[in-house]
Amino acid sequence: MKKSSTLLIIIAIASLIIASIYFFRTARIWIDKPFPGYLTFENGVMGGFNQFDWQGYEAGFKYHDILSKEDLTKAAPMVFAVRDFLRVFFMPFATGIIYLILSLIIYIVARGSPGITPFVLFHLGISYYLLSVFDLLTTYTASWLFLLNFALIPAYMSHFALIFPNPQHAAKKNLLLVILPYIISLTLFIP
C-alpha cells in the first residue's frame, strides 16, 4: 500500500510540473494579443477571472452571465497586457506553484503518517486548480481535467477525515466508506 501511495504521489507531482510548464507557455502567448475584454467558460458563461478595468466588466457582464451574440458586440476589444497576465494568470499560477512545493515538502517530511496520501492529493488538487484556471477560461484544452480534479477534492478530504489521526473503526471494517466519496465524486464528474 505504501509503495502504491508513493507512486501515486510521484505521478501526481510529475504531472503537475508538466502541466504547469504547459499552462505557463499557453498563457504567455496571450500577452499583446487582442481579446474581447472578458474571459468566458467554454459554454459562453462569463468566468470569474476578469478584471474591473476590462471592457466586459464595463459593459455590465458579471460572473455567470450567459453571453448572447448581442452581448458580444457590447464590449470593445482590448489588448492583453503584461499587467493583465500578471493579475489574471500569474497570481493564481504562482499560488499553485507554492501549493505544489508545499505538497512535496509535506510528503517528504510526513511520509508514512496516517492520512498523508489524501492530504497531499488534496493540496495537489488545489495546486492543479490554481495552475489551470486561466486555461479553463481561455484555451479550454484542459477543461475536463480541471473539472475532474474539482470533483475529486471533496473525496480527498473525506478520505483524510476517515483515516486521520487514526483510522476510524468503521473505515477499517468497511473499505466502502473510504471508496464511496471517490465513487460519488466521479459520478458527479460524468455530466
Domain around 54: 35-79
Average pLDDT, the chain: 87
* Domain-ending residue, one of 79, 105, 133: 79
Same domain? For 143 and 158 the reply is yes
Same domain? For 126 and 162 the reply is yes
Same domain? For 146 and 125 the reply is yes
Same domain? For 75 and 96 the reply is no
Same domain? For 60 and 152 the reply is no
Q: What is the DSSP string of 81-127?
A: -HHHIIIIIIHHHHHHHHHHHHHHHHHHHHTTSTTHHHHHHHHHHHH
How many folded domains does the chain comprise? Answer: 2
Confidence of residue 170 (pLDDT cuts 50, 70, 90): low
Same domain? For 99 and 119 the reply is yes
* Domain-ending residue, one of 79, 114, 141: 79
Same domain? For 112 and 98 the reply is yes
Same domain? For 99 and 159 the reply is yes
Same domain? For 94 and 182 the reply is yes
* Domain-ending residue, one of 79, 112, 138: 79
Give the angle subtended at the CA of 121 by the CAs of 120 and 127, to the nearest 5°.
90
Quick one: average pLDDT of 9-33?
91
In tens, the pLDDT along 75-96 reads 788 999 999 999 999 999 999 9
* Cell matching residue 20: 504547469
Q: Which CA distances in Å does 111 have to 8, 115, 123, 165?
A: 13, 10, 15, 14
Same domain? For 14 and 61 the reply is no
pTM, two decimals, is 0.82
Phi-psi region of 44 (alpha: psi -120 to 50; beta: other; left: phi over 0): left
Same domain? For 23 and 60 the reply is no
Which is more confidently placed, 3 or 160? 160
Which is more confidently placed, 8 or 78? 78
Confidence of residue 12 (pLDDT cuts 50, 70, 90): confident
Q: In the chain, pLDDT over 90 holds for what percent of residues?
A: 37
Same domain? For 40 and 67 the reply is yes
Quick one: average pLDDT of 140-164?
87
